[in-house]
Amino acid sequence: MTRRVVMAVACGAAVAWFVGRWWGVPVAVLVAYGTDRWLRKQEPAAVRAARARAVADLPLGADLLAAALRAGAPVDRAVTAVADALGGPLGERLDRTGRSLRLGADPPEAWQHLSDVPGAARLTAAAIRSSASGGALAGAFTRLADDLRADRAIAAESAARRSGVLIVLPLGLCFLPAFLLAGLVPVVIAVLGDVL
């Protein structure tokens, strides 16, 4: 049995035990089925980690591609060299792209291997545009790397600001009841005691 099935059965059994009546069995079956469906939709942690590493390596990969192209390497050799240098999930995708280019695949088909990496759409669009128009691909990759780093800095700053707000929320939720109980309730009781 997989871990997903064990978790679904455990949730169903917990519901059946908690209800403790005969009608808890159909409810438990529904909960187990719903839990199984929900867990199937969840992305595995290994896939999430591989995508995060590919996204983190993307600016460096764009810089390395630009440097290899400026050095005079053909696109397919440059992509393969960068794939060997990077390794990891992005390196594997770039290696497939380089092999496809070397075997004569059309650029849109070859660069399709990077389609599932967030942020790589601009890289593939620049490569396809350059192959069609003959534009300077190294400059486009350099600008793309700078843009990706700027996007990452903006996202990090936004996350830091958001965390500051989220940190204050529990403090407010704890402080407000304490203020009401320790500060406001005795005053209200004192005023009501004088009035009545």
Span 45-63, pLDDT tens digits = 888 888 888 888 889 999 9
| From 32-46, 92-106, 149-163, the region with the lowest mean pLDDT | 32-46
- CA–CA dist 127, 129 (Å, integer): 5
Per the prediction, the chain carries an average pLDDT of 86
CATH code reported for the domain at 45-151 = 1.20.81
13 close to 35: Cβ distance less than 8 angstroms: no
The whole model's pTM is what? 0.67
Dmax (CA) for the chain in angstroms is 94
Question: DSSP secondary structure string, the chain?
Answer: --HHHHHHHHHHHHHHHHH-STTHHHHHHHHHHHHHHHHHHSPPHHHHHHHHHHHHHHHHHHHHHHHHHHTT--HHHHHHHHHHHH-HHHHHHHHHHHHHHHTT--HHHHGGGGTTSTTHHHHHHHHHHHHHH---HHHHHHHHHHHHHHHHHHHHHHHHHHHHHHHHHHHHHHHHHHHIIIIIHHHHHHHHHHH-
Q: What is the pLDDT, as a whole number, of residue 83?
A: 92
Cβ(62)–Cβ(145) under 8 Å? yes
Residue 1 has pLDDT above 70, yes or no: no
